[in-house]
Amino acid sequence: MKQARFYRKIENEKVHCYLCPHNCVIKPDNTGICRARKNIGGELYSLNYSRISSLSLDPIEKKPLHRFHPGSVIMSAGTFGCNLKCSFCQNWSIAHLDADTAEMLPEQLVNKAFETKKSGNIGIAYTYNEPSIWYEYVYECAVLANKKGLLNVLVTNGFISVEPLKELLPFIDAMNIDVKAFTPDFYKEICKAALDDVKRTVELAAPKCHVEVTTLVIPGLNDSVEEVRELSSWLASISTDIP
């Protein structure tokens, strides 16, 4: 465990976590919605710090990033937990169940990624589950990787508060951001989150690093021509270069 950032102590040993827009108020011995941040004795701790559930050398296109160093490979790492509750989640076993993990400190992950440069590795992708709730670990790894000339990639749902996002962005080279639909009702009912917060992340990140957007098309839920047109027009208003 590691003491978490982006929280405030409040009454009766409760804490207010503001890492993401859920703004969880967490009682002692409880976790937030993400299951990865726990109130212990009136202090907030990251439970997934240095805990790895998944590690692989993947094609960059699998992230998916199609216009960022195409043909390369990247060390992909994930842990457990997520701050969304998407009913169609393909990584449910690590996002919302008690996945097996192994310890790997930031220096160890970065050194491992550096050693695989000879195999064509360009850096580290924080993926598989939601990397923003792995914040303390991702931030430390990203800083170390940046110093070693490795690239940092976030594969994220974009549901993060402004302050932590702005602090992390200088060390991030590329992001694939899920915009899961373009209606507030979809986010509220299917993902238990809010569209506007995700849109804000895209708008803040696009000028700072390479951004690509993924929308998983679900027939009957987010596949209308009107919705896809609105999503496309909004992305184009930010940058016509966003795939």
Q: Name, in order, each residue with C-beta under 8 angstroms of 89's C-beta and a sequence gap of 6 or more.
A: 82, 95, 96
DSSP 117: G
Q: Report the alpha-carbon distance of residue 140 to residue 155 in Å, rounded.
A: 17
Query: What are 89's two structure tokens?
Result: 């989640």
CA-wise closest residue to 203 among 152, 237, 164 = 237
Distance CA 96, CA 120 (A): 32
pLDDT of 93 > 90? The answer is no
Q: Residue 115: which of 126, 125, 124 has the closest Cα?
A: 124
| Domain 51-238, classified CATH 3.20.20.70, yes or no | yes
pTM of the predicted structure, to 2 decimals: 0.95
Q: With contact defined as beta carbons under 8 Å apart, do 28 and 68 qualify?
A: no
Domain assignments of the chain as residue spans, ordered by start: 2-46, 51-238
Confidence of residue 87 (pLDDT cuts 50, 70, 90): confident
Tell me the per-residue pLDDT of 6-62, one tens digit each, with 9 for 90 and over.
999 999 999 999 999 999 999 999 999 999 999 999 999 999 999 999 999 999 999
CB 38, CB 31: distance < 8 Å: yes
Peptide bond connecting 70 to the previous residue in cis, omega within 30 degrees of 0: no
Contact present, 44 and 19 (Cβ < 8 Å):
no
